[in-house]
Amino acid sequence: GAGVSQSPSNKVTEKGKDVELRCDPISGHTALYWYRQSLGQGLEFLIYFQGNSAPDKSGLPSDRFSAERTGGSVSTLTIQRTQQEDSAVYLCASSLDPSGTNEQFFGPGTRLTVL
Amino acid sequence: AQRVTQPEKLLSVFKGAPVELKCNYSYSGSPELFWYVQYSRQRLQLLLRHISRESIKGFTADLNKGETSFHLKKPFAQEEDSAMYYCALSRSGGYNKLIFGAGTRLAVHP
């Protein structure tokens, strides 16, 4: 079946603009995660959704970052007033059940470049 | 503090040589440990996890709680093992946000 998909695959924007990144998790997966992969910071957790529970936003680096998950499926990560340090690959992952040790399945990522 | 340390950015070996990718962690409690791998132009994917105690593609990893380590080992490296390897941990028994190490690039030369 289809894996996690993300769009766009690449995004180039100007400093100060807002961007939206989209993630389609694997059908039936209840948990959805956003991570950021950057040269200086490695792989960082950003935010996590599970079912109808309040999301864990503990990894969001600033209030310019926000995310939502509509209908328990598709998620959108929004970065407002982008800065050059936001340039990174944004990865989305989903898993079947957040309890226990279920595997996280990663998407191909969105490469964001802020000029 | 929760932390995963992979001290080597690059590990370069010849085909057939043994490989050990080091991973140390700092965590209050009993975490679950994982190794994820990213081959060139492919997605990040799970390689193995400590609770499974399994061998995947010839790789094994043993959790040493005394040394807080979870080193990844393979007795005979193959060229197709060349990839980026990330050690990660999560809290056990609850939601599993992953905390990743910086990663080690393994290069296996013919």
> Which residues in chain B are closer than 8 Å to A59, comparing Cβ atoms?
97
- Please report the residues numbered 2 through 41 in chain B whose beta carbons come closer than 8 angstroms to any beta carbon of chain A: 32
How far apart are alpha carbons B33 and A1 in whole angstroms? 27
How far apart are alpha carbons B21 and A51 in whole angstroms? 36
A92 and A7 Cβ atoms separated by less than 8 Å:
no
Of B83, B64, B61, the closest CA to residue B25 belongs to: B64
> Which residues in chain B are closer than 8 Å to A31, comparing Cβ atoms?
95
pLDDT at B17 over 80: yes
pLDDT tens for each residue of B22-32 = 999 999 888 88
Long-range interactions of B56-59: CB distance < 8 A, separation 24+: B57/B81, B59/B35
pLDDT at A67 over 60: yes
Q: Do B99 and A45 touch (CB under 8 A)?
A: yes
- Taking the Cβ of residue A16 and every Cβ of chain B, the question of whether any pair is shorter than 8 Å is answered with no
B105 and B10 Cβ atoms separated by less than 8 Å:
yes
